[in-house]
Amino acid sequence: MHDIQNRTDIDHLVATFYGRVFADEQIGLVFTLVARVTPETHFPLLGDFWETVLFGQNRYHGNVILKHVELHLKQALQPAQFDRWVSLFCLTVDDLFIGTVAETAKIRARTMSMVLQAKLHTLTQSGTHPNAHGHVDTHDALVL
């Protein structure tokens, strides 16, 4: 085993991890039926995200929080689902890699889970709802 070193390693991690996620009884349907995540469209974006997070490459230009807010408005995301996501992610990293970047990936995944849950909790407590076009005021959703 080796550490996560490059985009090829990230792509392997993403494909292996989401293979597990899609098959998971607890969270699989959220990804396949609600979020409609598909390998063809989402894996390159997820690779860009993790390459940006782990190696400082400026490849991902999306808004992770807003994507999860939109998903949360379709179907409320629960803490147990975030916990399962983190558990599967860390298990996959441990199965494939060892080293400082691998450890950083797990820390970042845990942190991301906590931040997303806090943002979604704030959104839920504020009673913010989508506008007529189905969009949320991102200021309300993104400010803690």
Per residue of the chain (144 residues), what is the pLDDT tens digit?
A: 999 999 999 999 999 999 999 999 998 888 887 778 788 888 999 999 999 999 998 888 877 777 878 877 777 788 999 999 999 999 999 999 999 999 999 999 999 999 988 888 887 776 655 444 445 554 444 443
Domains (range + CATH), the chain:
7-142 (1.10.490.10)
Residue 95, number of CB atoms within 10 A of its CB: 12
Q: Position 23: which residue type?
A: A
Backbone angles phi, psi at 98, to 5 degrees: -145, 135
pLDDT attached to residue 128: 58
What predicted TM-score, i.e. pTM, was given to this entire model? 0.82
Q: If you compute the radius of gyration of the chain from its CA atoms, what whole number of angstroms results?
A: 15
pLDDT attached to residue 129: 53
pLDDT attached to residue 102: 98
Are 37 and 87 in contact, with CB atoms under 8 Å apart?
Answer: no
3-state secondary structure (DSSP) of residue 97: strand
Residue 102 to residue 92: CA distance in whole angstroms: 10
